[in-house]
Amino acid sequence: MNNSVERRSALKDNEVAWFERMLEIREFEKQTNLLFASGSIRGTTHLCVGQEALAVGIASVLNKDDVVAATYRGHGLALALGLSSHSALAEIMGKATGCAGGLGGSMHLCDSSVGILPTSAIIGGGMPIAAGAALAFQIQKKSNVAVAVFGDGATNIGAFHETLNLAAIWKLPVIFICDNNVYGEYSRFNITTPIEDLHTRADSYDMPNLKIDGMDIYTVRTALEAAVERARTGGGPTLIEAKTYRFSGHSRADTAPYRPEGELAEWEKRDPLKVTQEHLIAKGLLSSEKIAKMISETEEFIQATIKKVLNDPEPTVKDMFKNILAESKN
């Protein structure tokens, strides 16, 4: 059993592991940002700081044979679903040891062993693909589900509309999760979208829909469990709008100067790590000492990972000619 599968099953009913994974994602993104700033990562990055509860919540509910179609803002989901920090960072740094051999980059993480479909850098690109995976499950009479995760801005693309309609009419086992982190690039979602609650758009397809607090992993799990149960038992798709917040800028060096003053601070009060931590402490599952230790272990772990990745080999010129068609496999 490979590393990703183990990492995935580690989340099974293990609340402390959820918190641990969220810590890992937080630290991963923090270091990714620094590596980008220092020029060690080229291209672009899209961080998910503030959105960790949703990522881990999803991963903790789904089975490893379920699949997820996510986006360029996919580091957190990929780590949550099981991809190792090493494999993810190596990909982001263009190393041969990355999940796509260093040929994909930050926007394209993938791991078939835990159902991470190659994340798409095209808005709306992953939604029909998730529906298609669900179609396969339906025909194959499997109880697997497919999940599409996308942003608030993505609810304005044609593929969103077409896919929800198709999924509804075919009652596909797919769950649409709109990670409404308030911004699409540099635009607050209300600049581009005339309604406040995006989940209501599912009414256009007679599809069950709801909004949830995406900062609280327990809420995420409850909502998702219900949707997954419905999907697995032939009840068709659901649209869940998770209200989250993008603590960082959109990508690269964006510092989000367009944010109204105080907005970030307001949301930081509900930082998903804080929220989870409070739950766990209240439940007696964690102490502040334990947490401090976990944090420093995570920091060390990510530092060690970075070190390893920096020493990893680059793909060779030959590698970039592989895996284009079946014939070019090796």
Partner 1 sequence: MPALRFRQAIVAALTDEMSADPTVITFGEDIAAAEGVFKATEGLLATFGPERVRDTPISEMAFTGAAVGAAMMGMKPVVEIMFIEFLGVALDQLVTEAAKMRYLSQGQYSVPMVVRASSGSGLGFGCQHSQTLENWVAATPGLKVVTPSDPQSAYSLLRASIADPDPVVFLEPRILYAERGEVDFNLKMKLGQARVLTTGSDLTIVALGNMVNVSKAAIAQSGVSADLIDLGTIVPWDRETVLNSVRKSKRLIVVEEAPLSGGWGSEIIATVTRELFSSLVSAPFRITTPDIPVPFNGSLEAKFAPNAADVCRQILESMKNNSVPDAWWVSEGVAK
Ligand X SMILES: Cc1ncc(C[n+]2csc(CCOP(=O)(O)OP(=O)(O)O)c2C)c(N)n1
- The interface with partner 1 within residues 154-213 (CB under 8 A) comprises 154, 156-159, 162-163, 165-166, 169-170, 184-187, 191-193
- The interface with partner 1 within residues 80-99 (CB under 8 A) comprises 94-95, 99
* Residue 317 CB coordination number (10 Å): 7
Tell me if 286 contacts partner 1 by CB under 8 A: no
Candidates 57, 82, 153, 272; binder of partner 1 (CB under 8 A) is 153
E strand or H helix at 188: strand 187-188
Tell me if 193 contacts a copy of itself by CB under 8 A: yes
The total number of residues shown for the chain amounts to 330
C-alpha to C-alpha distance for 237 and 206, rounded to whole angstroms: 10
C-alpha to C-alpha distance for 246 and 72, rounded to whole angstroms: 14
- The interface with partner 1 within residues 18-77 (CB under 8 A) comprises 42-44, 67, 69
Q: Cβ 73 to ligand X, closest distance in Å?
A: 4
Tell me if 17 contacts partner 1 by CB under 8 A: no
- The interface with Mg ion within residues 149-168 (CB under 5 A) comprises 151-152
State the binding partner of 73 from ligand X, Mg ion, partner 1, none, CB within 5 to 8 A by kind.
ligand X
State the binding partner of 181 from Mg ion, a copy of itself, partner 1, none, CB within 5 to 8 A by kind.
Mg ion
Two tokens at 323? 């895996």
Q: How many CA atoms lie within 13 A of 248 on its CB side?
A: 20
State the binding partner of 321 from partner 1, Mg ion, a copy of itself, none, CB within 5 to 8 A by kind.
partner 1
Q: Cβ 43 to a copy of itself, closest distance in Å?
A: 28
Tell me if 233 contacts a copy of itself by CB under 8 A: no
Residue (of 39, 57, 69) closest to 135 by Cα position: 69
Kindly tell me which of 71 and 144 has the beta carbon lying closer to Mg ion.
Answer: 71
Q: What is the end-to-end Cα distance of the chain in Å, rounded?
A: 23
Binding mask 177-196 for ligand X (x = CB under 6 A): ----x-xxx-----------
102 burial type by CB count under 10 A (0-12 exposed, 13-18 middle, 19+ buried): buried
Kindly tell me which of 101 and 173 has the beta carbon lying closer to a copy of itself.
Answer: 173
Kindly tell me which of 76 and 118 has the beta carbon lying closer to partner 1.
Answer: 118
270-297 burial, b at 16+ Cβ within 10 Å, e below that, comes to bbbbebbbebbeeeeebeeeebeebeee
Count the helix, strand and coil residues of the chain and give each as a percent rounded to the nearest 5.
50, 10, 40
Provide the binding-site residues for ligand X, judged by CB under 6 A. Answer: 73, 121-123, 150-154, 181, 183-185, 246
Provide the binding-site residues for Mg ion, judged by CB under 5 A. Answer: 151-152, 181, 183-184
